């Protein structure tokens, strides 16, 4: 399937309840973000390690397994981190109510 | 001294020699220079040498002048005593001759003259030397010198005095070889080098018990330096910023294949997660959602609905309660308007009454039985203080009186304008004499002087003090304007019983700031002319009217101008005769401004403003008459209906729209005249119910009835909207049906008879249809991929 990068990202960014989206590369440098710079940098820096640790925990338990999405549900909103292919996609969403 | 002594002794010897010498010579003769003579007392007086007066033994010498003696001799010649010595006196060289008194008669006579001056001098000298001698002798004999007592002074003298002493002998020896050599002595002047040792001063000093002593604390500071080897280098502070890629790099990465791969993998997962989030809240707390309020969830709700709290009865007979109202500020006080048993009804609000109720009694929770006469202390006025002009007021009893809120007022043509004074100044009244009147509490501008000059002689004597707040209006009060509404079908005029208008909130600061203390001098207020005031466009001037005949009229009170330019009352916008007899209550919901509850005799209805098609909800006809109704103050879906037999129904529209959710029979004996709710505190909600036999009952609303269920307001709103839609839809349908009916009737007349199918033909028709259906089914299933179908019964997609 042909993937339109721009379109895909736009789709995610304009989903209902999404506050912000960040794409981070392997070194933790944000490639693309809908939030302001300082927030982006903060999220990227903090979540990178967390995602790596989660992934390693999952693979420790079962080497065949892998992390698909790491979801952090907090009081105010939900943060979803999806690692893939050395990149990281971070989405922050406001839950239903 | 000693030579003097010698002299003296010599002289005394000489004197004694002298004295002795003349004596012996006297006998024999006298010495040459002495001439003895005797002087008589007269001569003595003359010369002043009287014996024992001038001349005595101690001082025997007298110097006489020679001339005097000569004189005497001349005068007394032979008698003078000096005659024998005449020659001697003449020969005397000197001026003065010495006369000596001789007391011892040494020369034989008492006196003697000293002839020669040498002898005179000699003699005269003797007494001079004799006198110190005499004195000394006297001194010697008079004073004896004291013996010297030694006081130690001679020792000091001895010490100090330099005496010669024997020479000092000092032996020394020299060295042998220096023997015989000359010796040289010299003085050795040694400096005095002895110190002066100190000694304790034995003078007593005052010991100092206290001394001021200053101290200064000085921190011991020591500065030292050390140099260390910094082995492990470490940054104490760093300034950093996050790494960032440039725009071009970002673009490159975004377009790269790896990015595409990444998104391909991630997107479905992420969308799935987002969707999950959106649909379902994983963390709902069901229990928490169930309970509406947190505070008293553990209180058992024993009573079902209404609970009798208190009962008040007026002991005096012959009175009927016409209306009841809670005191707005004092908790637990109800004002009850009592009137004599008459046929016409009268009604009163708390503040001002226009017709004549007789009494207003106050019941307070403190005293059950007796009505208290609280009005004198607390409320400013109770009894009517102004009566309207008889000609221009209502012809029948006034059935409803309401103050217009202070946010807007109405001009003579009914235009709502801004109320510059922040007080309620206008009143609407309605009466079955088919008019609605607007009254203004203020005097009209063209009042003139006549009003003031009119004397109030005919003021009836009242037992109570009538406050003068509205005195200016008394008996001259004319309504601002009147409206009467023609019936829509032209058959008369409506006779309104109750009305309800939409309260206009206005500005926030205008509303709600009116308190009893702000009672201004109403007589000073004047109705401003309509031009001055700003017209308020958004005031809803439409009112709901419940009439005597059961119609609910929704109309505008603004006077309109028709095509001729005449001002006349507007036509009502709709009217429905939902109720078949008198409408007892028209009340707006406290939650929704456009929902009105009307209570007729046998049913009640809920209306929504703007919905012209009809009431949203009409209740079933009930057996007993409904005589009163009011909304609940806290729950948007609850209202209370009072009945003729004294029972009360609680309706909850969300629970059951067909019947009352609760029925409380026998709440009160007699007909319920009025229901008024009141909130005392969040735990105590009361409902005051009055009947026509002067009993007031206070009922406590239980918790279930006073706490709204969750989202009740929004649910109610939805319910009303739904109802509105339904009504509209129904109305539309009705019209459509009516039209269809008409068409059908028309068709029926014109259309030929339809061919009647025989059963066989019918069956054939059915088969045909069935075959068509099967084909259709097949095509659909093929499209879905479920062909061939296993069985007929599982054809469900």
The residue of chain A with its CA nearest to that of B255 is: A5
What lies within 8 Å, CB to CB, of B289 at 6+ separation is B710
The shortest CB-CB distance from B277 to any of A11, A32, A96 is to: A96
Strand partners, B416: B410
pLDDT tier at B28, thresholds 50, 70, 90: very low
Best mutation site among A85, A88, A97 for testing chain B: the one with the most B CBs within 10 Å? A85
Answer yes or no: is pLDDT of B514 > 60.
no
Per-residue pLDDT averaged across B475-499, rounded?
65
Strand partners, B338: B321, B359
Answer yes or no: is pLDDT of A91 > 90.
yes
Put simply, the answer to whether B271 touches A15 (Cβ < 8 Å) is yes
Contact B558, B572 (CB under 8 A): no
The residue of chain A with its CA nearest to that of B279 is: A96
pLDDT value of residue A47 = 93
How many CB atoms lie under 10 A from the CB of residue A89? Answer: 24
Answer yes or no: is pLDDT of B330 > 50.
yes
DSSP string covering B231-288: -S---S----------HHHHHHHHHSHHHHHHHHHHHHHHHHHHHHHHH--TT--HHH
pLDDT tier at B552, thresholds 50, 70, 90: confident
Using a CB–CB cutoff of 8 Å, tell me whether B288 touches chain A. Answer: no
Q: What are the pLDDT digits (tens) for B84-116?
A: 777 777 777 777 777 777 777 777 777 777 777
The shortest CB-CB distance from B244 to any of A18, A29, A89 is to: A29
* Burial label, B704 (beta-carbon count in 10 A; 0-12, 13-18, 19+): middle
Q: Give A46's contacts in chain B (Cβ within 8 Å).
A: none
Q: What are the pLDDT digits (tens) for B756-784?
A: 667 788 888 888 999 999 999 888 888 88
pLDDT tier at B416, thresholds 50, 70, 90: low
Per-residue pLDDT averaged across B126-145, rounded?
59
Mean pLDDT of chain B, nearest integer: 67
Q: What are the pLDDT digits (tens) for B561-596?
A: 555 655 556 666 666 666 777 777 777 777 777 777
pLDDT value of residue A51 = 93
Report for B159-168, B547-556, B738-747: range of highest mean pLDDT: B738-747
The shortest CB-CB distance from B264 to any of A3, A32, A97 is to: A3
Residue A84 Cα, gap to closest chain B Cα (Å): 6
Answer yes or no: is pLDDT of B786 > 60.
yes
Best mutation site among A2, A5, A7 for testing chain B: the one with the most B CBs within 10 Å? A5
ipTM comes to 0.82
- What span, in angstroms and rounded, lies between the C-alpha atoms of B322 and B359? 10
pLDDT tier at A39, thresholds 50, 70, 90: very high
Answer yes or no: is pLDDT of A89 > 90.
yes
Put simply, the answer to whether A95 touches B250 (Cβ < 8 Å) is no
- What span, in angstroms and rounded, lies between the C-alpha atoms of B346 and B400? 8
Q: Give B260's contacts in chain A (Cβ within 8 Å).
A: 3, 5
Answer yes or no: is pLDDT of B370 > 50.
no
Using a CB–CB cutoff of 8 Å, tell me whether A39 touches chain B. Answer: no
- What span, in angstroms and rounded, lies between the C-alpha atoms of B43 and B50? 8
Per-residue pLDDT averaged across A58-85, rounded?
91
Report for B2-11, B232-241, B476-485: range of highest mean pLDDT: B232-241
The residue of chain B with its CA nearest to that of A91 is: B270
Using a CB–CB cutoff of 8 Å, tell me whether A1 touches chain B. Answer: yes
Answer yes or no: is pLDDT of A54 > 90.
yes
Report for B168-172, B494-498, B535-539: range of highest mean pLDDT: B168-172
Strand partners, B716: none
Per-residue pLDDT averaged across B40-64, rounded?
73
pLDDT value of residue A80 = 93
Contact B577, B570 (CB under 8 A): no
pLDDT tier at B535, thresholds 50, 70, 90: low
The residue of chain A with its CA nearest to that of B247 is: A31
Query: How would you classify residue B763: left for phi > 0, otherwise alpha for psi between -120 and 50, otherwise beta?
Result: alpha
pLDDT tier at B5, thresholds 50, 70, 90: very low
Put simply, the answer to whether B270 touches A16 (Cβ < 8 Å) is no
Put simply, the answer to whether A5 touches B245 (Cβ < 8 Å) is no
- What span, in angstroms and rounded, lies between the C-alpha atoms of B368 and B327? 16
Put simply, the answer to whether A32 touches B282 (Cβ < 8 Å) is no
Put simply, the answer to whether A5 touches B259 (Cβ < 8 Å) is yes
Using a CB–CB cutoff of 8 Å, tell me whether A85 touches chain B. Answer: yes
Put simply, the answer to whether A27 touches B262 (Cβ < 8 Å) is no
Beta-carbon pairs below 8 A across chains A and B: 94
Per-residue pLDDT averaged across B459-469, rounded?
42
Using a CB–CB cutoff of 8 Å, tell me whether A46 touches chain B. Answer: no
Put simply, the answer to whether B262 touches A68 (Cβ < 8 Å) is no
Put simply, the answer to whether B260 touches A3 (Cβ < 8 Å) is yes
Contact B321, B341 (CB under 8 A): no
The residue of chain B with its CA nearest to that of A21 is: B270
pLDDT tier at A41, thresholds 50, 70, 90: very high
């Amino acid at each position: 399937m042909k993937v339109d990068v721009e379109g895909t990202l736009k789709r995610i960014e304009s989903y209902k309840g999404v506050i912000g989206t960040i794409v981070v590369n392997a070194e933790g440098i944000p490639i693309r973000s809908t939030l302001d710079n300082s927030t982006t940098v903060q999220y990227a820096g903090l979540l990178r390690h967390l995602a790596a640790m989660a992934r390693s925990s999952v693979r420790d338990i079962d080497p065949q397994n892998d992390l698909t999405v790491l979801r952090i549900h907090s009081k105010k909103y939900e943060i979803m981190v999806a690692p893939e292919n050395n990149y990281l996609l971070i989405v922050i969403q406001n839950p239903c109510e | 001294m000693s030579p003097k002594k010698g002299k003296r002794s010599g002289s005394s010897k000489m004197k004694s020699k002298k004295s002795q010498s003349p004596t012996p010579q006297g006998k024999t003769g006298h010495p040459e220079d002495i001439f003895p003579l005797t002087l008589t007392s007269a001569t003595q007086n003359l010369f002043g040498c009287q014996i024992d007066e001038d001349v005595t033994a101690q001082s025997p010498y007298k110097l006489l002048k020679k001339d005097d003696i000569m004189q005497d001799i001349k005068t007394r010649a032979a008698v003078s005593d000096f005659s024998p010595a005449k020659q001697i006196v003449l020969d005397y060289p000197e001026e003065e001759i010495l006369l000596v008194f001789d007391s011892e008669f040494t020369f034989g006579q008492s006196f003697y003259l000293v002839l020669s001056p040498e002898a005179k001098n000699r003699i005269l000298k003797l007494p001079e030397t004799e006198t110190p001698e005499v004195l000394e002798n006297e001194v010697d004999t008079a004073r004896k010198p004291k013996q010297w007592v030694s006081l130690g002074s001679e020792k000091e003298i001895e010490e100090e005095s330099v005496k010669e002493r024997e020479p000092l002998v000092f032996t020394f020896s020299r060295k042998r070889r220096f023997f015989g050599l000359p010796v040289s002595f010299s003085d050795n002047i040694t400096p005095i080098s002895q110190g002066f040792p100190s000694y304790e001063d034995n003078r007593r000093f005052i010991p100092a018990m206290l001394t001021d002593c200053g101290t200064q604390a000085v921190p011991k500071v020591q500065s030292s330096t050390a140099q260390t080897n910094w082995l492990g280098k470490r940054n104490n502070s760093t300034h950093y910023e996050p790494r960032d890629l440039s725009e071009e790099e970002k673009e490159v990465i975004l377009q790269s294949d790896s990015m595409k791969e990444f998104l391909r993998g991630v997107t479905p997962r992420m969308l799935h997660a987002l969707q999950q989030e959106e649909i379902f809240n994983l963390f709902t707390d069901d229990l928490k959602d169930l309970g509406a309020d947190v505070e008293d969830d553990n209180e058992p709700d024993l009573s079902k609905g209404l609970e009798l709290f208190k009962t008040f009865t007026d002991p005096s007979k012959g009175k009927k309660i016409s209306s009841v109202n809670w005191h707005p500020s004092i908790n637990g006080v109800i004002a009850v308007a009592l009137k004599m048993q008459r046929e016409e009804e009268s009604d009163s609000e708390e503040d001002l009454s226009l017709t004549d109720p007789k009494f207003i009694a106050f019941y307070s929770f403190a005293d059950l039985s007796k009505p208290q006469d609280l009005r004198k202390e607390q409320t400013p006025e109770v009894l009517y203080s102004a009566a309207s002009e008889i000609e221009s007021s209502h012809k029948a009893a006034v059935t409803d009186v309401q103050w217009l809120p202070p946010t807007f007022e109405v001009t003579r043509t009914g235009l709502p304008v801004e109320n510059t004074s922040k007080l309620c100044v206008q009143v609407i009244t309605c009466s079955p004499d088919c008019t609605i009147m607007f009254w203004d509490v203020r005097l009209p501008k063209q009042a003139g002087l006549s009003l003031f000059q009119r004397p109030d002689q005919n003021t009836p004597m009242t037992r109570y003090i009538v406050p003068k707040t509205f005195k200016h209006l008394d008996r001259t009060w004319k309504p601002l304007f009147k409206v009467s509404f023609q019936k829509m079908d032209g058959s008369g005029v409506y006779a309104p019983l109750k009305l309800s208008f939409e309260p206009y909130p206005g500005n926030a600061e205008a509303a709600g700031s009116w308190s009893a203390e702000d009672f201004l001098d109403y007589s000073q207020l004047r109705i401003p002319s309509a031009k001055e005031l700003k017209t308020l466009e958004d005031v809803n001037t439409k009112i709901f009217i419940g009439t005597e005949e059961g119609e609910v009229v929704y109309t505008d009170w603004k006077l309109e101008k028709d095509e001729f330019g005449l001002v006349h009352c507007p036509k009502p916008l709709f009217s429905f005769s939902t109720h078949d007899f008198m409408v007892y209550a028209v009340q707006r919901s406290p939650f929704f401004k456009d929902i009105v509850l009307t209570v007729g005799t046998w049913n009640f209805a809920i209306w929504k403003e703007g919905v012209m098609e009809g009431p949203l909800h009409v209740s079933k006809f009930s057996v007993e008459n409904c005589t009163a109704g009011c909304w609940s103050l806290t729950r948007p879906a609850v209202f209370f209906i009072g009945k003729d037999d004294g029972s009360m129904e609680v309706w909850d529209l969300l629970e059951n729209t067909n019947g009352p959710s609760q029925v409380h029979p026998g709440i009160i004996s007699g007909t319920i005249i009025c229901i008024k709710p009141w909130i005392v505190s969040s735990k105590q909600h009361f409902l005051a119910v009055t009947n026509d036999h002067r009993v007031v009952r206070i009922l406590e609303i239980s918790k279930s009835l006073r706490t709204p269920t969750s989202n009740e307001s929004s649910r109610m709103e939805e319910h009303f909207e739904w109802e509105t839609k339904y009504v509209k839809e129904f109305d539309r349908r009705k019209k459509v049906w009516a039209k269809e009916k008409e068409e059908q009737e028309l068709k029926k007349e014109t259309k030929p008879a339809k061919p009647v199918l025989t059963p066989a033909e019918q069956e054939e028709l059915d088969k045909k249809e069935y075959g068509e259906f099967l084909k259709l089914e097949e095509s659909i299933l093929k499209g879905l991929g479920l062909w061939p179908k296993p069985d007929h019964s599982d054809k469900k997609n």
